Amino acid sequence: MQPETIEILIPILAFFAVVAIGSAVITARRQKKSKQVVDRIRFDRPLSAAMRPKGGGLDFLAKIGNVVSHGQASTTLSEQLVRAGYFGASAPSVYTGIKMLLFITGLGAAALLAGPIPQQEINFAAKLILILLPGTILFFIPNFVVALQLKKRHDEIVRHLPEAIDLLEICVSSGIGLDMAWNMVADEIQNVSSVLGNAMALTNFEIHLGATRAEAMRHMAARTGVDTLSSLAAILIQTEKFGTSIADTLSVFATSLREDRSFMAEENAEKMAVKLLFPMVLFIFPAVLITVAGPAVITIARVMIVGD
């Protein structure tokens, strides 16, 4: 082979090699992302050994949770964890394992601290309460964490849903189909609210897998725990069934959501006066009282002392 030919082939082969490697990397990432999305779509799957975490502390916690729950996670717990953002199939077992580990840790630490106390200073019942109380408190800490995370995601979806519906109405009014408009809004709202954007993206992906729009939106409402999404699903189904204007329906629905949010803000503002009463009585009022009446009390005390 001529040297000139070799000099020409080397850049060409290098170019195709880079393109092949890049295509393989991009394809692998897309497949991984698609697999994660598919795993998140349904949360009522039975746990299997392949779905559990492998190695590390999570594996140990999952084993503890499976032993305690006998490998049967309740549907209610799975739904709560999914709504809180924990989509993994092993999340219920890990959650149970964390609760048991915290409980045992609390019992052990309290037993070490309360064990050396003499029987004369504290009776057996009080010592038992001192041992059980820290473990019980630590046992319920994951419940509060999940509840706070669930409320945070729920409030974020409710706060940004009217804007998403407005964007959806604009896209539909411009002549774009509902499925394409849903996909475009999911991409746009991702920059504002990742929670709502991911929920809409999962719904769109589920529709592409063959589910009907009604089923996909009902699953979205179940995954997020937002009743407004159930209402949106029912409205879109009725609109498609009776052939009415989707744009007008979305506009009216977005207006009602915005009015509900305004009413909620007014209600919270009315409650604020009552909520501020307690910190004012406990912290602000004593400080004001000391500042105003303090000099007078000191003067009266000095006069009484001098008078005596």
**12-16, 65-69, 95-99: lowest mean pLDDT where?**
12-16
pLDDT over 70 at 159, yes or no: yes
Spatial neighbors of 232 by CB under 8 A, at least 6 apart, are 165, 217, 253
pLDDT at 226: 83
User: What integer is the mean pLDDT of 258-262?
Assistant: 82
pLDDT over 60 at 157, yes or no: yes
For residues 56-93, one letter each, b for 16 or more C-beta atoms within 10 angstroms of the residue's C-beta and e for the rest, the string is eebeebbebbbeebeeebeeebbbbbbbbbbbbbbbbb
| pLDDT digits 0-9 by tens, 102-132 | 888 888 888 787 766 666 566 767 777 877 8
Q: For 49, what's the count of Cα atoms within 13 Å in the CB-facing half-sphere?
A: 0
pTM: 0.65
Please report where in the chains the tokens 């580990």 appear, as a residue: 101
Domain boundaries, the chain: 49-139, 159-271, 281-307
| pLDDT digits 0-9 by tens, 183-230 | 888 888 888 888 888 888 888 888 888 888 778 888 888 888 888 888
**Would you state the torsion angle of the CA atoms of residues 161, 167, 171, 172, taken in this order, to the nearest 10 degrees?**
40
Residue 282: band (very low, low, confident or very high) from pLDDT cuts 50, 70, 90: confident
Tokens linked to 7 = 């000099």
CA distance 247 to 168: 8
User: What integer is the mean pLDDT of 143-162?
Assistant: 88
Q: How far apart are the first and last CA of the chain?
A: 123
Residue 47: band (very low, low, confident or very high) from pLDDT cuts 50, 70, 90: very low
pLDDT over 60 at 95, yes or no: yes
CA distance 178 to 200: 13
**Cβ count within 10 A of residue 274:** 8
CA distance 158 to 46: 30
